[in-house]
Amino acid sequence: MDMVLSVYLDILGISNKKGDTGMYRSMIFIIMLGVLFGCQQQEQENDSTRNQANQGPPASIQKVPDSTQLIQELTLQVVYQNGEEVRVHYVQGEEEQWMYHNDLAEPSTIEDEELYDKLNQLTIDKGTFTEEVIQQMRYVFEFGGVYDVLDLEITFDDGTTRQYES
């Protein structure tokens, strides 16, 4: 440490000669105060940043309901030239009407809880662009390639019905 200070003082043009010990000690004291207060300022900035981060999201950000709350009813049918199909039917609150069948996946059918989990992966609403809706359907319900028919109808919680075809 003493070596570092002496090099630093040499750079500043202050020597540590026997007659300059008072000035040498004063410079060491001033440098140490600078280091001490500089570190303290950084600590205060880090604390204020941490406090801002712990306050949660800004008031303008609202929690978006999951898709199973936004989607009242969903019917999807995809038909391939070779006869393979992907079919999904969901009605909010009526589990006995839920259905998932995918000739392209193993297993080709899933339980109601798994269908509910798949629907929760969707991040669509009535304003989502058609391309995005179809892309999410392809990803979540595991179909792709070139199909002959894609027919999708979604009724949202406000009663708005959207038809998507390709």
pLDDT at 63: 44
CA distance 133 to 116: 17
**Taking a C-beta distance cutoff of 8 angstroms, is the pair 69, 157 a contact?**
yes
Q: Where are the domains of the chain?
A: 2-52, 67-165
CA-based torsion, 57, 60, 65, 67: positive or negative: negative
- Asked if the model's pLDDT at residue 43 lies above 70, the reply is no
Q: Residue 160: helix, strand or coil by DSSP?
A: coil
Task: Please report which confidence band the pLDDT of residue 124 belongs to, taking 50, 70 and 90 as the band edges.
Answer: very high
Q: Which residue has the higher pLDDT, 23 or 120?
A: 120
Chain-centroid distance, C-alpha 121: 13
- Using one digit for the tens of pLDDT, what is the confidence trace for 55-78? 444 444 344 456 667 899 999 999
CA distance 39 to 43: 6
CA distance 144 to 104: 9
DSSP single-letter state for residue 17: -
Across the chain, where does the E strand assignment appear? 71-79, 85-91, 99-102, 149-156, 161-165
Q: Which residue has the higher pLDDT, 137 or 11?
A: 137
pTM tops 0.75, yes or no:
no
CA distance 129 to 39: 51
CA-based torsion, 61, 63, 69, 73: positive or negative: positive
CA-based torsion, 55, 57, 58, 63: positive or negative: negative
**Taking a C-beta distance cutoff of 8 angstroms, is the pair 46, 125 a contact?**
no
Instruction: Please tell me the number of Cα atoms within 13 Å of 8 on its side-chain side.
Output: 11
pLDDT at 21: 63
